[in-house]
Amino acid sequence: MAFDSDTEASSPKISPLAIAGWSAAFGVSLLMLCVVSCYRLSAEFGMVALGFCGLVIALFVIDCKSRAAKRRMLALQHLAHRRGWHFLPDGHADVLSGIERFELGARGHAHLVSNLLSGTIDGVQFYVFDFGFMDGSGKGARYRRQTVVWLQREDARLPSFTVYPALFWWTRAHSLANDRRKIDMPGPHWFTRHYDVRSRDEQAMLDLLTGKVLSFFNGPLTLAVEGTGNHLVLCEKQSRLMKPEELSAFLKQSQWLYQNLTSSESRETE
């Protein structure tokens, strides 16, 4: 899949008018509270004052989040512009439907792909995007967002597998549904303690996760990795959006893992 971007990079700006408006709103809120406190006015007026203050605070928080999202979008747009990548701030339906076929994309509901970066590096097609989903339901529901990297190359072949942090609560049910069995890895203690490997092909995973490929998981990030066919999907254990300045390094690391997993050398025991 290849997507065109018709946006150009620009720098985020904060409007002086917006700053003045919020300053005035907070000023009025404080004045109303002071009047209520000093003159002990009626309870009805006090409730109106508190309600107005609460409304101002809520709108301020929403506005701050909206501006932060705008700054992130512009920073990623600028990154894509510098690197010669495609950028779609609203994502793409094909990427959303594609990622939902993976366990990592099947979590929760109300899935959303945004800030989609795409391109090709050394013959490997990549997609880097913000993936959002609703986790749970009812009062305990929480909307989560995180950065996901999706890599693919036509001639690559991978066994169906997952390498997840051991305490991923949502992994086991999905893996069992996909007939992926837990594999007891003979690798180092740090790996077997912190990661849970599942696959339909035990021998293939024993051949893959050796030497330099295994050492990849001993880095500063705790990663969740899923592979099948010619696809590899990666994200962090913690549901967080990576900063734009972190993305190039993370994409480079992900590509390194993909190249080594799909090369014949990675199947040789070191």
Helix, strand, coil percent content, the chain, rounded in steps of 5? 45, 25, 30
Residue whose token pair is 């993976």 = 102
In this predicted model, which residue has the larger pLDDT, 65 or 173? Answer: 65
What letters, b where the CB count within 10 A reaches 16 and e where it falls short, cover 81-113? eeeebbbbbebbeebbebbeebbbbbbbeebeb
Between β-strands 195-199 and 158-165, what pairing exists: parallel, antiparallel or unpaired? Answer: antiparallel
Residue whose token pair is 């366990």 = 103
**Per-residue pLDDT at 240 exceeds 90:** no
Please tell me the distance from the alpha carbon of residue 146 to that of residue 236, in angstroms, as a whole number.
Answer: 8
Question: Distance between alpha carbon 83 and the CA centroid of its chain, in Å?
Answer: 20
- Cβ 79 vs Cβ 119: under 8 Å: no
Please tell me the distance from the alpha carbon of residue 115 to that of residue 68, in angstroms, as a whole number.
Answer: 13
Residue 186, Cβ neighbours under 10 Å: how many? 10
What band does 69 get if pLDDT is binned at 50, 70 and 90? Answer: confident
Please tell me the distance from the alpha carbon of residue 20 to that of residue 235, in angstroms, as a whole number.
Answer: 40
Average pLDDT of span 206-220 = 86
What letters, b where the CB count within 10 A reaches 16 and e where it falls short, cover 56-71? beeeeeeeeeeeebee
- Whole-number average pLDDT of the chain: 79
**Per-residue pLDDT at 40 exceeds 70:** no
Tell me the residue type at 239.
Answer: S
Question: Distance between alpha carbon 93 and the CA centroid of its chain, in Å?
Answer: 17
Q: Which residue blocks in the chain are alpha helix, DSSP H? A: 16-39, 43-83, 93-99, 171-177, 189-194, 202-208, 211-215, 244-261
Q: Which residue blocks in 84-148 are alpha helix, DSSP H? A: 93-99
**Per-residue pLDDT at 51 exceeds 70:** no
What band does 23 get if pLDDT is binned at 50, 70 and 90? Answer: low
DSSP letter at 88 equals E
Q: Give the pLDDT of residue 138.
A: 81
Q: Give the pLDDT of residue 80.
A: 95
Q: Give the pLDDT of residue 120.
A: 95
Furthest CA-CA distance within the chain: 82
Q: What is the pLDDT of residues 156-200, one digit of tens each?
A: 999 999 998 876 555 544 554 567 888 888 878 888 888 889 998
In this predicted model, which residue has the larger pLDDT, 64 or 224? Answer: 224
Q: What is the pLDDT of residues 79-122, one digit of tens each?
A: 999 999 999 999 999 999 999 889 888 888 889 999 999 999 99
